[in-house]
Chain A
Amino acid sequence: MELTLMHPHLPDVNEREVMRYAGVRGECDRQTKLLMEKAVACSQDALSPEIGYRRVPLEVYADRVCMEGLVLSSRSLARHVAGCREAVVFAASLGMELDHRIRRESVRNKALGLMLNALGAERIEAVCDQLEEALRGKGDRLVSRFSPGYGDLPLETQRDIFAFLQCEKYMHIHLTESLMMIPSKSVTAIIGILGEHGETTTGASACRACTLADCAFRRETVCAH
């Protein structure tokens, strides 16, 4: 199956999530709230979300998964998508302009730069959620997305996923030599699609799979759909 491109509409900003990415716990004061509003206003015309994905048959082994020539060696990923017969491999991004805004605003107001960055993190996750929604809307049952760097899936896998999706040709996403994505607010991941049986999962389980135990952003509670 070839690459499908989407330009999703974004839902309203989830302010609690933005605060979480900005490192705020609990209630925030008025200044912080104003800062977030400023970040939202500043990002207004700076986002051009895009998604490119391929839906492919999936074979799961103990230590690797295979998807039409894309072979990823990872026990955690294999465990995560156990029971799935198909997968969606995707890349998503918010576009270059947001990076430019973050850089520009950070020159004189690093607090605003930080908040814009947090907003970008929330927005790109929302873009990924849109893809999952679209798939669920077609009746697919999903396990949550799994990205390079989670568990024992090495970051080097980015190169394979980029080649598999031809991101640099069909989308505005690039990979540097040291495996960073440009624009910085970009995500690549694999979504397992279950057959009629098996337990669906959502975002929080990604935290469960991750080995970075003392991450400041780790979701404490794990909810199942």
Chain B
Amino acid sequence: MRTLITEFLKDHFLLLDGGMGTLLQAAGLKSGEKPEEWNLTHPEVIVSLQRAYYDAGSHVVNTNTFGANLLHYTENQLEKIIASAVRLARQAAEESSGAQEKYVALDIGPTGRMLKPWGDLDFEEAVQIFARTVQIGAACGVDLVMIETMNDARETKAALLAVKENSTLPVFVSNAYGADGKLMTGASPEAMVAMLEGMGADAVGVNCSLGPEALTPVVQRYLACASVPVLLKANAGLPRMQDGRTVYDVGPETFCAQTLSLADQGARILGGCCGTTPDYIRGLAAALANRHPLPLAEKTETVVSSYTHAVGFSDPPVLIGERINPTGKKRLKQALAEEDMDYILGEAISQEEAGAQILDVNVGMPGIDEAHMLHKAVESLQAVTNLPLQLDTADPAAMEQAMRAYIGKPLVNSVSGKQSVMDRIFPLVKKYGGAVIALTLDDSGIPETAEGRLAIARRILHTAEQYGIARKDILFDPLAMTISADAMSAMVTLECVRRIRTELGCHVSLGVSNVSFGLPGREGVHSVFFGLACENGLSAAIMNPLSYDMMRMYHAWRALHGKDPQCLSYIRFITEHAPKTVPAPSVKTAEPAAPTEGGALQRAIEKGLRDQAVREVREALGTREGLDLIQTEIIPALNRVGEAFEKKTLFLPQLLMSAEAASGAFEAIRNGMQRSENTPRRSLFVLATVHGDIHDIGKNIVKLLLDSYGFRVRDLGKDVPAETIVREIEETHAPMCGLSALMTTTVPAMEETIALIRTRTPWCKVVVGGAVLTQQDADRIGADAYARDAMACVRWAEDTETEAIACHSN
């Protein structure tokens, strides 16, 4: 009976195999031929190569299944290929003369396709593809799974999830880093370790792309943050052409010396990748025979991560931006109701630029499908921001969907001392990984005393431990409540902060602004409370990073604690953000008066000066109605720009800058309006890039222009199936729809979409556009109109709207 590999690893180095592809090519595998097919056609070659690795001393040999998945083989072929791959590796182990423990690993490489949002492969589809390979491999009796050469964090997660959902096998996960120390899609070693450990990988590491020396910095970063064993399977240097053949620069001796240097620093699972042979492995085996692995050290830092970056809590306070939460925010509610992702993404980027390190995401409000919306928000946000997210929902189903879609290790907001909540959330944390905010309340409410809240905290820690969740992954929120209701509430909370930090050794997060609820000049109160909480050991604050008072407190506190050498950050913040006592000399003078009609607002829009347009609106709103500004200033200015664009005296970038300025002006009017007053809004326009098409710049330009003209745009994004578009038109009764396609290959999808619109939503008029489209194409596929550019689309929308109104009034 073999020792379980995870047991063996506890006090041994583990030696893997070396390169396979290069050896197969030497044995006659042709370029373009699938290596896995050799399991069926050349079984003796596979066995002899794998036996050579076991003979050289490998404990683990990978099955010849790197590309064995449903994208490359039919179900039937796949079963045969994997079954024979496992059988051949077992045969090699049995035939080998080596006396060491021998294991067979099911090898899983990337699908070769890019996942969304970069590419077109859906995450769940990828999970399904990997799942089938895992099911077959597990049934054939492998000892572990080796996920390797992954260069995208999302695909890595899909593969690991598939292993976890379809087997109980140990699993090692290895990624391929570029010379810049990142995965192709940008993830850092720290981000990968946080995500993979969170999901329960038994070992993590690095393979392929470079030689051991070039990979050294990446491996060292793994060693610094990983608690599980670290794996290294480097190439024999960089491939190079010589006499028409690929050769590798690093010979066995140098390779071994460089790999062993990393073994001495803590790497425990070692092998080779492209260009390495049994000679390389024999060298490693000989050297490792006299060495003992460094003991594994459990890392204690609390870390969360995004698609690309990790954020640790060792340098408090960590700022968690609170602005993506519809409570009390009319504009965000509207954006959520309309699924206006750009508004939500804009809020994310502003907070990131203001200094937020994590973003809270809460999309719960009446009348919304929270699970759908949170999932969509998470995917959209991860495509534009590198900050980790704090998933904030009380709905366990929404939480699970969001955690599944989230790439990285999220902050989970929240659990409490209620057993039912812990029983629903902790299993999700165990499966998908995450750090959890734990509220110190339970079924009987919030204890009034610090002692009562700590008792709940202890109970939560105990339950987390039973679920296998590490102490470092629990952050407590001892609840800040307003001092206007209870004079001592802030003092109790501060006591909790201090005692949780010192007595429990856990991190503490607070929603600090609650403390001032019901008081005038709220920011004055909660910014001081923020400072006091920091002084008591606060680790993180959920706060508004756009608040001057809060950020000033943050920078000042850090400067006072010697965390800001020469006070540079503080000084920079004050210089950039301190409110000016005298209004800055009007920027208007900086722009020479233009020979245009109308006032300053019109000029700002025509010049494309967004900030100035917003300022002009704010000033004008004191004396004029919003509606008046729209009709007499914004629309005429936009129209002049549009006409100049049509006459080709002005071009697309200028048109867009003006549209941005007009949108800014609209937004300012909307924000400045009284609740009773409503901005008049034009017809609904459903907009999408058709299925299969992932390029959306043209579509986004159309959206902006329609927006700036006041149309209500439902932007469904890119790569949108016909069914989704038609369902949206059905639900909203939109009178107009715009479809974009960039390539000839996606025009058929456009044609199908139009056909579906004709049968199911015949009232809806369709305009099409895109790089390769012509009027003739538009006629052929049955569109109502063709727009040669974004302005033409606006003109069409205006005419169509007018006709529709004329029809109704007849």
Chain A residues within CB distance 8 Å of chain B:
1-2, 4, 22-25, 28-29, 31-32, 35, 48, 69, 96-97, 99-100, 102-104, 106-111, 113-115, 117, 149, 155-156, 163, 166, 168, 172, 174, 176-180, 182, 184, 212, 214
Contacts and interface: CB of A to CB of B under 8 A. Distances in A.
Given A35-B653, A155-B744, A180-B694, A103 B119 contact: no
Contacts of A31: 607-609, 654, 657
A184 B698 CA distance: 14
B120 A23 contact: no
Given A178-B693, A180-B120, A180-B695, 11 more contacts: A96-B185, A103-B383, A104-B385, A107-B384, A110-B701, A111-B659, A111-B660, A176-B694, A178-B120, A179-B745, A182-B118
A155 B745 contact: yes
A22 B772 contact: no
Task: Point out which of A35, A107, A214 has the most chain B C-beta atoms below 10 A from its C-beta.
Answer: A107
Interface in B249-271: none
B774 interface: yes
B119 A113 contact: no
Given A107-B384, A110-B700, A96 B186 contact: yes
Given A106-B697, A107-B349, A180-B693, A24 B114 contact: no
Contacts of A25: 648, 651
Interface size for chain B: under 10, 10 to 19, 20 to 34, or 35 or more residues?
35 or more
B608 A111 contact: yes
Interface stretch (B85-93, B134-142, B240-248, B572-580): B240-248
B402 to A, nearest CB: 20
Contacts of B346: 107-108
Contacts of B659: 110-111
Interface string B343-378: 001100100000000000000000000000000000
B385 to A, nearest CB: 8
A155 B748 CA distance: 14
Contacts of B112: 168, 174
A24 B184 contact: no
A25 B118 CA distance: 32
Contact of B653 (A24, A48, A69): A24
List the 5 closest pairs (A to B, CB-CB), nearest first.
Answer: A178-B692, A111-B656, A23-B652, A176-B120, A24-B651
A102 B698 CA distance: 13
B470 interface: no
B41 to A, nearest CB: 20
B654 A29 contact: yes
Nearest to B241: A2
Interface string B638-676: 000000000010011110110110000000000000000
B520 interface: no
A21 to B, nearest CB: 10
A10 B192 CA distance: 31
Given A110-B659, A182-B118, A104 B349 contact: yes
A172 B515 CA distance: 51
Contacts of A114: 652-653, 656, 697, 701
Contacts of A166: 31
A96 B184 contact: yes
A178 B656 contact: no
Contacts of A172: 151, 184
Given A110-B704, A178-B692, A180-B694, A96 B118 contact: yes
Interface in B689-710: 692-695, 697, 700-701, 704
Task: Point out which of B180, B608, B749 has the most chain A C-beta atoms below 10 A from its C-beta.
Answer: B608
A172 B522 CA distance: 51
A28 B186 CA distance: 36
Contacts of B704: 110
B32 interface: yes
Contacts of B694: 176, 178, 180, 182, 184
A87 B186 CA distance: 34
10 contacts: A2-B245, A25-B648, A35-B653, A110-B659, A110-B701, A114-B697, A117-B697, A176-B119, A177-B692, A178-B694
A30 B275 CA distance: 55
Given A96-B118, A176-B114, A155 B660 contact: no
B48 interface: no
A24 B650 CA distance: 8
B85 to A, nearest CB: 20
B342 interface: yes
Contacts of A103: 383-384
B634 to A, nearest CB: 17
A176 to B, nearest CB: 4
A29 to B, nearest CB: 7
B653 A22 contact: yes
A102 B694 CA distance: 14
A1 B657 CA distance: 49
Task: Point out which of B31, B114, B119, B342 has the most chain A C-beta atoms below 10 A from its C-beta.
Answer: B114
Nearest to B746: A178
B734 to A, nearest CB: 22
A32 B653 contact: yes
B292 interface: no
B743 interface: yes
B113 interface: yes
B284 to A, nearest CB: 26
Contacts of A176: 113-114, 119-120, 692, 694
Interface in B407-432: none
A147 B644 CA distance: 35
Contact of B246 (A2, A96, A182): A2
